[in-house]
Amino acid sequence: MTAGRAEVGLDANQQGQGRQDTAPVFTPDPATLAHLELILNGGYPLPGFMTSEEAASTIKHGRLPGGTPWPVPVTLPVPDTLADADQLVLADPEGAPLAELRVSERWWCDDGDRDDGHGHRLAGEVRFSRPPMYGVLRHLRMAPAEIRGQREIGGFADRPLLAVLAGRPLHHRSLHQIRAAAEEVAEDGRAEVLVIINTPLDDEGLTPAIIAAEPLLPPRTRFVVATLPTPACGDVHPSPAAPSGRAPGGTAPRLPTGRYDLLAAHVARAYGATHLLIDRAPRTPAPSDEDLEPAPIPILPAAEWCYDTRDELWRQADQVTADRAEIEPSDAEVEEMLARGRELPAWFTPARVAAELHRLRPARTRRGLTVFFTGLSGSGKSTVARGVAEGVRRAGRTVTLLDGDVVRRMLSAGLTFSREDRDLNIRRIGYVAAEITRHGGVAICAPIAPYAATRAQVRAMVEETGDFFLVHVATPLEVCEARDRKGLYAKARAGEIPEFTGVSDPYEEPADADLVLDTQHTTEGESVAEVLAALRAGGWLPDHN
């Protein structure tokens, strides 16, 4: 998804508005787009983006300056070029206007309240422009007022409504927890259930597998899709409902434990929910009652269930002795079973859910993959990559080789070797690789890719739709320079090539490589064989090849 794109003086006729719009048009980052949609559809009781005082009070106290409880800051980061704007047209990644912002305050964030650190923020009310069209599952992204209206028309508005926040499949344990919670909130069993599926704007995630459990949920259950911005990894407890792979709304501030559970409670209340249950992965700790005390509706603790192997039934954990209790597999274990093409146990998940998971997460031998080689010029990565491509092809998989030099000529002609252009070149390679991966092919890339941040961006692009395998060709600089088949190091030493990786510009060795090759002490054939063996061991190539 394109983030932070700004254009000035666009003709709004191009956006279907029929008028000239002289305000700058700006596409926020994914987390801010998620906030904006919840502001516009009534999921947040906020008129727009926060001032510096409001953001600071929210971060420190979990309240707005007037005392109203609110758990997370909702701010609008903008680039330097828009820091002095009086108004903005906020658009989706395709350029379609969503809202108009009249700026009430310009402020500088200097407390690192977001993963992008310091930067300009604009505050002010937003005015709705037109319904959003961008994003997947639009038919399920109903505004809270629509759900409340449907309940009133159906005569159910006076019944308890249990909201369930889910971003992972509802296996037997979760289904038992939901049914028990629905009985708890309505003694007569007449509670309705609203499953709020938390998934990114541009990715359906595991939504089909979640909906597959519908026949096993209480009879008055409906589904909606929303995107709740979630915290950066390591900042706070990650949202237990976030789909595997990536956070639905990007990243967000460092905040005390439980703030994102409270945010979910506010959104659930907007839909008319009287209670909230958060579907957490197995063995995931929940925030304390004290952390959740400011919740606008009760957040129910989920009773723990386990499988009784003797009676072959699911029971509450306190009713099963330890020697008979089977705990459901972790999400990582489930992912590994799917990757290896193994059937999911029937005691663990319903057949309908298992079928959807196998469709969404096919075995790695049928799953798209990007093998990304990185290393210094002359490290041998291109040679090894060609050998690996041939081996993958012999194994029966469709493969595309994106060599750094070839891409430079065909895809990135005209780019310089400045850091900005080198980053753009790598992102272009990543985009093409992600599309190949999306369609089940194998992309093998062999650029220098010296910067860790850019490699991380490529990994994120690819892992939205498939798998990513990073190979560091760790040939020492002195060996690469001694080879110098193209004479590039000599020119760099002579000052003829500025910003040359390893000489006048740094190479950031990857700390997240899936495989490290030492081509200094191995032959080309041995290096190729090592990579193919790793791909075979990981399940991306059949064992018999």
Q: Are residues 118 and 183 in the same domain?
A: no
Contact 111, 101 (CB under 8 A): no
Alpha-carbon torsion 532, 533, 537, 538, what sign? Answer: negative
Q: Which residue has the higher pLDDT, 226 or 12?
A: 226
* Total of domains in the chain: 3
Residue 248: per-residue pLDDT: 53
Task: Inform me whether the pLDDT recorded for 464 exceeds 80.
Answer: yes
Q: Are residues 114 and 150 in the same domain?
A: no
pLDDT tens profile 84-108: 999 999 999 999 999 999 999 999 9
* Selection from 343, 347, 342 nearest residue 327 by Cα: 347
79, 99, 128 — which closes off a domain? 128
Please indicate, yes or no, if residue 514 is contained in any of the structural domains: yes
Q: Are residues 175 and 301 in the same domain?
A: yes
Confidence of residue 14 (pLDDT cuts 50, 70, 90): very low
Q: Are residues 120 and 100 in the same domain?
A: yes
Please indicate, yes or no, if residue 352 is contained in any of the structural domains: no
412 is in an annotated binding site: no
Please indicate, yes or no, if residue 462 is contained in any of the structural domains: yes
* Selection from 215, 468, 243 nearest residue 360 by Cα: 243
Confidence of residue 240 (pLDDT cuts 50, 70, 90): very low
Q: Are residues 99 and 142 in the same domain?
A: no
Q: Are residues 172 and 67 in the same domain?
A: no
Q: Give the separation between CA 43 and CA 458, rounded to whole angstroms.
A: 32
CATH number, domain of 467, equals 3.40.50.300
- Count of helices and strands (H, E) across the chain: 15, 20
Q: Give the separation between CA 439 and CA 458, rounded to whole angstroms.
A: 17
Q: Give the separation between CA 62 and CA 342, rounded to whole angstroms.
A: 45
Q: What is the mean pLDDT of the chain?
A: 87
Please indicate, yes or no, if residue 289 is contained in any of the structural domains: yes
Q: What is the largest CA-CA distance in the chain?
A: 84
Please indicate, yes or no, if residue 316 is contained in any of the structural domains: no
375 is in an annotated binding site: yes
Q: Which residue has the higher pLDDT, 481 or 543?
A: 481
- What is the arithmetic mean of pLDDT over 226-237? 57
Q: Are residues 124 and 156 in the same domain?
A: no
379 is in an annotated binding site: yes
Dihedral (C-alpha) 242, 244, 249, 255: value to the nearest 10 degrees?
60
377 is in an annotated binding site: yes
Q: Which residue has the higher pLDDT, 156 or 20?
A: 156
Please indicate, yes or no, if residue 92 is contained in any of the structural domains: yes
Residue 110: per-residue pLDDT: 78
Q: Are residues 169 and 38 in the same domain?
A: no
281, 307, 333 — which closes off a domain? 307
Please indicate, yes or no, if residue 106 is contained in any of the structural domains: yes
Task: Inform me whether the pLDDT recorded for 541 exceeds 50.
Answer: yes
Contact 118, 46 (CB under 8 A): no
378 is in an annotated binding site: yes
SS (H, E, C) 194-237: EEEEECCCCCCCCHHHHHCCHHHCCCCEEEEEECCCCCCECCEC
Q: Residue 43: which domain range?
A: 5-128
128, 161, 192 — which closes off a domain? 128
Residue 484: per-residue pLDDT: 78
Structure token pair of residue 65: 């300056």
Q: Are residues 176 and 279 in the same domain?
A: yes
Report the percent of the chain where pLDDT is more than 90: 70
382 is in an annotated binding site: yes
Please indicate, yes or no, if residue 15 is contained in any of the structural domains: yes
CATH number, domain of 273, equals 3.40.50.620
CATH number, domain of 116, equals 3.10.400.10
Task: Inform me whether the pLDDT recorded for 435 exceeds 90.
Answer: yes
CA angle at 93 for the pair 92 and 94, rounded to the nearest 5°: 90
Task: Inform me whether the pLDDT recorded for 366 exceeds 80.
Answer: yes
